[in-house]
Every structure is written in structure tokens, then in C-alpha cells.
Structure 1
Amino acid sequence: MNKIISFIASVAAIAATGCTSYEIDMPENPAAPVIGNEVSTNVIYQANPRFFGENDCLKGLTSQLSRISDMDCDILWVMPVYETGELNGIGSPYCIRNFKSINPRYGTMDDMKELVNSAHSKGMKVILDWVANHTAWDCPWITEHPDWYEKDADGNIVSPSGWSDVAQLNFGNPEVRTAMKDAMFYWVDQLSIDGFRCDYVDGVPHDFWSNVITDLRASHPDMIMLAETANPDYYADGFDMIYDWECATTISTAFNGGKPSSIVKEASEVLAKVPDGKSILRYVFNHDVAAENNVATMYGAPDGVPAAYVLVSMLNGTPMIYSSMDVEGLSGKLSFFDYETLTFSTSLSDEYKIINSAFKASAEVRRGELRDYSNASVVCFTRAIPGHNLLVAVNTTGSSQTIRTPISLAGAQMTDLIKGNNTTAPVSIELEPYCYTILMN
């Protein structure tokens, strides 16, 4: 944590004066003020309720909302809260028995309402995870409406490929569409939620998504819709965001001996396909990545995770923090099927707050021209709009590294968005292991 300790005191002083130390005076009418599309200023926090308590998980999550909000997170994505199935089950929260009831181990509907209301009171929006493609094998629909499911040649209900714990719905049946839409509206009406993260959207027809999104926005115009897909065709259905599937793997490879410049290249290629007014979800961990990789070594070492998150956020898109990234000492794979109460770290939360504040403060300049100056160990890039520059440098290794500052910026007066002070850009930047700097003028 040595890279942020010096800033903690300045954060307190800044808060007392009601301003930030990195408020940059932007010209009122700059010539050609931006080059790229509008960029996101939202930060998502993905909350796995099973990390917040062995039981009463929703109350545990509610008790952490002040800390999550203080990290400058804007949107709370809550993984599935619904009653799960047991028949053929393997413990997955994505195996839904009843779309209109709360998992009793998580708590009650009143607990869920308290969570949403508390988040709203802190200025956060709440989106729920939605699973439209399939149900649990003991979902009442199986016996009440067997014609709502896909069947094989012998008339047996089938599973989606590779997921034997769930049964595949048949969206060729209009009644399935009506029932699924009704269930989605139930949560909007009951809880006043702000949107959905839609699981495995590729398994459900485009016209279902376009229809339900149109209907949701007819009464709730600001509904947030996130699609679990990398296919940009889903933007046309009305989704605000899709996934950058490759960002975590690309960054991890660079932090384990690969080419740092590949991170800038991958982000640029993916963002080029994002229409204006839309965004793309970028992350170092989500529930799948954390379940499939050793969280202590995926980014070289635990200290590499915040450094990797700097790249997720500052290379644009909508960055996301997964519950567990703000916990110290974790190792191994984190199954999202298990209940594992985590102890969250104040110092890590403070570090993510500083990164998120830099992400938001740099929004206008992040729309500018991108130039890559990375070397074999450090990701280094700049953004520029007329009269203003952004410089980001991240050490991807466990040893100290030095990189030359682009000659056009060496000696320039800039604001250090991490330390919170004004500084002169040096001729070269020295970075301790997994440390980073973000400068802007």
C-alpha cells in the first residue's frame, strides 16, 4: 500500500475543504474539444451475496454499502438473489427455481428492499442479474408447462450444452416470453431497481431482448441493460453495455511476462466497435474469472490487481470491481457456488477510491487521441485534447522499472491524480513493483 499512503492525508484535507486537488481548469470554449466518442464515468461494483455472509447475505451486503459507495462506485450489480433449485443442482446461483422469490438463505424480500433503498439513498443504482435462458429442473414450470421447454426427438426436456443442472426454455413459445417478461417487471415494480445484467444473452432470441427492453424503457426510460456477450449486435437490441471478454486475459498475460503494448492494442480494437452513446464492461476479475484462476497470481502478485484495474479504467469502457478485489490475502480460485464470508480491506477500498476518482476526473481528456509508449515492462500511454494531456504509466512487474516520459510532456506542469499534488513531469518515470502514475494537465 506504499503507493497510496502519502495520499490518504491529502484526501482528508481535500474532503474538509469540499473540493478535489485535481480539478483541472478546462477552457469554456476549446477548439475541437474532443476527438473520440463520449466515455463512461460510471463504475460498477459486482456483489456476490455469498461473500457477505453464510446466511442473511443481503443484510451483510447492505452493511457494506457505505464503503462501496465511498469507493466512488455508481452501480451495484447484485448476482442472482432468487430461490435456487436442488434437483440435479450443483449449487449455482444461476439455477433458478422461482424467478419471483428470494433465496431464503440470503434473507427476505424486506431485506432486498432495504438493500435497494439503502443503495438509492447513497446515490447508487442497482441492477439485478437475470437468467432468461433456462430454469432449474425443479422449477414449477417443468410440470405445469412442459411445452415451455426445448425437447429432444424422444420428447425429453434438454439442458443447454454443458449445463446439466438446468433445463433449456423454448422461446419459440409466446407464453415463455410473456412469463419471462412478467418476472422481470415484477422486480422493477416491487423494488424500483434500475436495470438488469442479462446472463447468456446469446441463448435467447434478439427479438425477445429488443421487445422487453422497449417495454421496460416505456415506463422506465433510464433502465440500465448490460448483456453478457461480446457480440456488438446486441447494442441494436437496446443494451447499453456488452463485455470486453479479452481484457482480463490480455492484461494477465502482460503481467506474467507478455507484451504490455498488447493491452493498449486490445482495448483500442474493442472500443472501436462501440457505438457512440454505448459502453463496454471491462474488468480484471468477475465471478467467472475469479472462479477459474488463482486470484493471487493472475496479475503477478496481489499488489498487481489494483495496477491492472488502473488499465481497465483508464483505457476506457465501464470499469468494474468484483467483490473480493477489495479483500487482502486471498489466493486460489474463488468459486461463486460457495458461501465464504470475506473481510474487506479499508486500505484497498481507499486505493480503488483514488483510482476511480482519477478515472472520473480524466473523462474529458480520455476522449482524446491515444498514443502508446509502452516498453517491455511498463504500459505507458497518453491521451490528448487541445491544451490538455493525460499520461498513464503502470509497472506490470514485481521489480522496479523506469520508462522515459514522452518528450512532449517532459518538464510540463501536471497534476498527479494519484498523489493529489501538482508536479513537473520528469524526463523519466521510476515505478516500484506494480506501481502506477496518472498525470494530467
Structure 2
Amino acid sequence: LKEVARTDNPNYLFIYVNIAASTKPGIVRIKFTEGAQSKIYNYELKARTDKSGALGFTPADVLYLITPDRFANANPANDDLLGVKVNRTSPNARHGGDLAGVGKYLDYMKDLGITTVWLNPIQENGGPGGSYHGYAITDFYNMDPRYGSNEEFRDLTKVAHQKGLKMVMDMVLNHCGSSHWWFKDMPSKDWINNGGVFMQTNHATVSVMDVHASETEKKTFLDGWFTRGMPDLNQRNPHLATYLIQNTIWWIEYARIDGIRQDTYSYMDFDFLARWNREVYAEYPHFDIVGETWYNKSTSPAWWQRGTKLGPKDPSLKTPMNFSLTFITQKAFDAKEEKGLENIFEDIAQDFIYPDPYHMLTFLDNHDLSRFNRKEDSTLNRYKQGIAFLLTMRGIPQLYYGTEVLMTGTKEEGDGRLRKDFPGGWAGDK
């Protein structure tokens, strides 16, 4: 026993233990005593796995991004769990896609030339709204039962590996869902930013690197919440930081995933992110982490990449996301003159600022953006040019599910329309 820590909330106790390398897996009996009362908790210490199994990914890979609720439903029995009914007529409701549906299409992805499957968050989102997108987590250690079980996810990853595919898990450490027990009974007063009281973030992503930004602007950005339904976590709390790091390592060990895409990357505490990266890479040197570094300027994500000299210290992130190139590319092939391609050239001419421009995630679209094939009347030539550009440009390319079958959708229609059901993924689909 290394340390027993208490907080201002008597309902919580933090126990830190040292586990020797020679310790065998099994049940550890922890006895809690208060006065004449005592209680035994059986904690299972699981076996470690071979660290070389976490493969990571490189510019030789192609990622295929899937919103699981909208991809394929191969197990209708889990559709209406947690009190939320499936309603495919509503773009913002749950539609019933699941892990079994993803597994059904692994051979399809393999034939398509995909090497790596990236799933939007699949942990429990137990709020009353259903949170089909997965970004309002209510249990960081368990799958949402409407997708399947932890065992099903582990088995899916195993089968993917057998087919030569890698698996990337979307993680959300910036916030939780408002139905999480942390929000209902905060482990400490500073567990949730702004004392657990809603404050809207200003989304000023550049403020963390802006030498002219005021402290108020930075604080509103970092401590503000995305929505009332997504309380913002305070990673400066040492117990929470340790919990999130251990949870990450647990998933890598348990499910044998090959990489992580970290949501809302720049919205979190810089020191925590640097530590999180270091500790994950110390355990799994070949692992890879993609950070959602959403900036309009091509140079800004360089502030976050491992090896940069731009920030206060090495941020340790291997793979930032190249949003600026996406925004330019979505317009470049609409241009009537050569200026469209010239804009691409001017953007990638800034690559000198990156420690490793070949380790950027490049993409035409994703679950938050208008699809590259925006309208039914988008031209096939434009589509072909965009795909050819993506697959031959420097970086690690990511395709969004349905791009290969010309799925459409615009941001103006609402996010639900960007995440339409994959054709043929449901029984009876035509």
C-alpha cells in the first residue's frame, strides 16, 4: 500500500498501491474498516499482455472512420437497451448500429484497401438523450450495451488482427456526460471545471499558444464546457489525471487496440496531455495517438507535435490532425482556375514547421464536417480528384465511411445528416 488519499467528499477514497513485476494475476482482497464495521472488496488484477502487440500506424496505413450507430446493425436484440428506443427516421436519434455490424464488414474493408478501423466512441453513453455519437460518456470502463459488451469489442479487435486490420479507439478525456456519477456526486470540488457549474467554452483553440491572449480568454477556453450535457473535466486534479491515464492503459491492454484518436485535444490541460502521451508511449513504444487539433491555419497543429520547439515543453503527440488542408481541399477542386490547387501548394509549403509532416492525419471529411461529396449533383471528376489527392498526399490518410459509395451530407443540414446510415447496413435496406 503506497498511499490512501481522501478528498473533500467523504464518499470517495483513493488507494494507490505498488505492484511488483513478480506479482501474479488474481484476486486482491482489500479490506475497508471504519469503527466496528468492515467490508471486503475483491479487486481483480489481470494479466499483462505482450506490449509488442500494439502496432500503431504509419503513412503506409489507411484509416476508415466509422460512426458505429450508423454503420450496420447485426444484432437487433441490443437496440432498445438503457431506455432509449431506436428511431431511424430521426437524424439525431439512435439507429441501432453495433459492434457485430462492424465485424460483419471487416472483409469488405479489407477488400477496399483499408488497413485500420477507427470507431467513434463506443463507451457507455447512458444519458436520457441517447447520445448516439458517443461523446457524452457515462462509464469509461464499459462498452455501451447497445453496441455490445467489452468482450465483444475485444473479440472484434482480435478478429480484425487476424484479417490483417488494425483497430483505433476514439477516446474522450476532456469531458464526460452529465449522467456520469462524477457529475451527480463530484469526487472533489475541483473534479469538474468551474466547480461543476456550466460555463460555455469560447472555442478559442489558438489562445493556448497565443502570446497576446488574456488569461480570461485562456481560462474560458480550457475550463468552459462544450454543452450543458458534457461537464468539462479538470485534468489538473492529480487523482483524475491518474484515473484517465490508467483507464487508457487498461483499454490498450484489455482490447489490444493499436491506436487512439483523442477527441477535443487542444481543450485539455497541456501538462496533463504531455504526461498522458509519455506514459502511454513508455508502455507501448510502437503505439500511435491522433490528436484532434482543429485549427484553420496550417502552422497551428505543429505546436502540438512531438519534437517541436514552439511550445513550453515537448507535447509528445505523434500525430496531429491536418484540418487546414481539409478545408482548402474541400474547395480546391471546385475552383474554375488553377488557384484552387495553388492554395493546396501554399498550405503544404508550410510543412517545414512540423517536426514530422508525414505523421499528420489527412482527410477529406469526417463526422463533424460536410462530406466531400456534399450534394447529389457533385461531379464524379471532382470526387476522383479528391480521392486521388488524399491517397497520394503526404501524411496518414483517413476515409470516412460511405465516401466510397458517394454518400452526401452538409453541415447546414445538421450533424445527424453527416452521419447517415450506411447503405445495406440494416435488414430490409434497399
Matched with 1:327 is: 405
Consecutive unaligned residues of structure 2, counting only runs of 5 or more, are 1-57, 74-94, 201-223, 296-300, 307-314, 426-430
- Give, in angstroms, the shift of residue 114 of structure 1: 2.0
Write out aligned runs for 1:409-428 (5 A). none
Write out aligned runs for 1:138-287 (5 A). 138-142=179-183, 143-147=185-189, 148-151=191-194, 156=197, 158=199, 160-229=224-293, 230=295, 231-236=301-306, 237-257=315-335, 259-276=339-356, 279-287=359-367
Q: Is the 8 A contact 2:169 2:259 kept in 1?
A: yes
Shifted more, 277-286 versus 100-109: the winner is 277-286
Deviations 1:28-84 (A, max 9, x none): xxxxxxxxxxx9222111121122224351111111111212222222211100111
- Give, in angstroms, the shift of residue 210 of structure 1: 2.0
CA distance in 1, matches of 2:177, 2:128: 7
Higher relative contact order (CA 8 A, sep 6+): 1
Deviations 1:226-273 (A, max 9, x none): 111052122132222111112222122223235232343244234333
Q: 1:270 to 1:98 in 2, by over 3 A?
A: farther
SS across alignment from 1:96: coil
Q: How many residues align?
A: 303
**Alignment partner of 1:301 out of 372, 379, 382:** 379
Matched with 1:431 is: none
Matched with 1:316 is: 394
Q: 1:305 to 1:145 in 2, by over 3 A?
A: farther
Q: Is the 8 A contact 2:236 2:272 kept in 1?
A: no
Write out aligned runs for 1:5-404 (5 A). 40-50=59-69, 51-53=71-73, 54-55=95-96, 57-86=98-127, 91-142=132-183, 143-147=185-189, 148-151=191-194, 156=197, 158=199, 160-229=224-293, 230=295, 231-236=301-306, 237-257=315-335, 259-276=339-356, 279-290=359-370, 295-297=373-375, 300-301=378-379, 304-328=382-406, 330-331=408-409, 333=413, 335=415, 340-343=420-423
CA distance in 2, matches of 1:90, 1:120: 29
SS across alignment from 2:305: helix
Q: 1:46 to 1:223 in 2, by over 3 A?
A: same
The structure whose residues are more often strand, as a share, is 1
Q: 1:294 to 1:276 in 2, by over 3 A?
A: closer
- Write out the 4+ residue segments of structure 1 that deviate beyond 6 Å after TM superposition: none
- Give, in angstroms, the shift of residue 99 of structure 1: 0.8
The alignment's C-alpha RMSD in Å is 2.8
Q: 1:204 to 1:63 in 2, by over 3 A?
A: same
Consecutive unaligned residues of structure 1, counting only runs of 5 or more, are 1-38, 346-441
Q: 1:176 to 1:298 in 2, by over 3 A?
A: farther
State percent identity of aligned pairs.
Answer: 21
**TM-score normalised by the chain length of structure 2:** 0.64
